[in-house]
Structure 1
């Protein structure tokens, strides 16, 4: 079947909440950076190959029906061409709040140190998230906001309008379900992976003790995903 939904929004725009939402309404499993880390021994080499120009999309997305967040968002054009029937969702939020969120979490030196002690992981981030353009902007609010706005506008300009939903954090179920042609579920839309939740969980990794093993990272993030899903949709 392949991907039915492709997320084009940058990380920290409600992408993990969207992952759980898509899975809940029938578009799962949904790929997300957390899925890559939870399966990093198998998936990390595939992403490095893909980023170097040898796409491994069939292997990466085997068993997945949607994608959101990094690293998939960085390849949304390629994925949209690979899966021409897939809908595209651009998650977005207030640009200044996005800057404050990424600066405190996924793009902070502390967060990066927990992962980039692994040479292959460092190469992966360099090839996908932290290219030379964004490295020059890190920590500079004006330049990062410019990057964010330019990214969003490029998606709006380049994605076919009939395939695209611009989805702001906090929009809830209605526009999402209307766009995808599915009923609105009775449960509240998920709100997960707050700055506090994320830093508490990744704080379990102490970079001063050396790079964590892939097995350790898979266990930590796998458990985190299970906890967030239980929080979003308690049984």
Structure 2
């Protein structure tokens, strides 16, 4: 998260599958790709939490059929990927980072780039997100908000995907991070896979994509700060909406009593 919601641009060629786990610099990476590829980038966290209900519901439908067990499941997966990513130059963040084989089947010419960071710092960062609030409370707080009323169920489906891929879904440990790297090396042809640390800036990324280095600083978006800020804003918005609902109910009751 950290970016604004992106809108598809008709005719845009899909070129990059961002395979980095959440909180590995995916927001900075997304903005860098937007500049380099001159097209919109689908950052999963941003689109799912700030986009329309169709975004989160379609990903939940895909994840509920993950892994695909039949020809029909596979067709559904490919159809959702094509629909959601049509008009985008790249996809980053979850749940796409756990759908690399499916994305490669859908977009065989795409390059897979995995953002990386210090594994122990990554675990600490993910743990901070998990302690923001309990999911039971979150479900109630977010219920008046669209599309966030579905967020807890989305997290459940995402945890199920991670458990299948890495052996654990929530909470995570170094096992998840290390297994993700191993899984990509096992899954993606070596000539189509790149590991990239956003601290290295433009040069390695531009070199791999065969593009000139832009005459602008490399984007520096703090994923952690952006997620924490958005989470607090959404929780406050949910509580405010509940206050308005209760206020309306109480006002209606008082008016009814007066009118009796």
* Normalised TM-score (structure 1): 0.78
Residues in 2 aligned to 1:58 and 1:201: alpha-carbon distance in whole angstroms = 28
**2:222 alignment partner in structure 1:** 193
**1:126 alignment partner in structure 2:** 156
What's the RMSD between the two structures over aligned residues? 2.8
Q: Does 1:57 align with 2:81?
A: yes
1:48 deviates by 1.8
Of 94, 113, 132, the residue aligned with 2:118 is 94
Maintained 8 Å contact 1:3/1:86: yes
Query: What secondary structure is seen at the aligned counterpart in 2 of 1:45?
Result: helix
Gaps of 5+ in 1: 214-235
Maintained 8 Å contact 1:2/1:83: no
Sort the Cα spacing of 1:165 and 1:115 in 2 relative to 1 into closer, same or farther, 3 A: farther
1:173 deviates by 0.5
Maintained 8 Å contact 1:4/1:86: yes
Sort the Cα spacing of 1:2 and 1:44 in 2 relative to 1 into closer, same or farther, 3 A: farther
Larger Rg: 2
State how 1:132-151 maps to structure 2 within 5 Å.
Answer: 133=163, 138-139=170-171, 144-151=173-180
Maintained 8 Å contact 1:92/1:152: no
Maintained 8 Å contact 1:8/1:68: yes
**2:48 alignment partner in structure 1:** 36
Residues in 1 aligned to 2:190 and 2:173: alpha-carbon distance in whole angstroms = 26
Residues 184-223 of structure 1, C-alpha deviations (whole Å, 9 max, x = no match): 012111110342343123211227955979xxxxxxxxxx
Tell me the matched-pair count. Answer: 209
Sort the Cα spacing of 1:43 and 1:115 in 2 relative to 1 into closer, same or farther, 3 A: farther
Q: Which moved more, 1:76-85 or 1:38-47?
A: 38-47
Sort the Cα spacing of 1:188 and 1:124 in 2 relative to 1 into closer, same or farther, 3 A: same
Gaps of 5+ in 2: 1-11, 66-72, 144-148, 243-260
Q: Which moved more, 1:24-33 or 1:88-97?
A: 24-33
Residues in 2 aligned to 1:211 and 1:121: alpha-carbon distance in whole angstroms = 18
Residues in 2 aligned to 1:192 and 1:212: alpha-carbon distance in whole angstroms = 29
**1:81 alignment partner in structure 2:** 105
Maintained 8 Å contact 1:12/1:102: yes
Give 1 or 2: higher helix fraction: 2
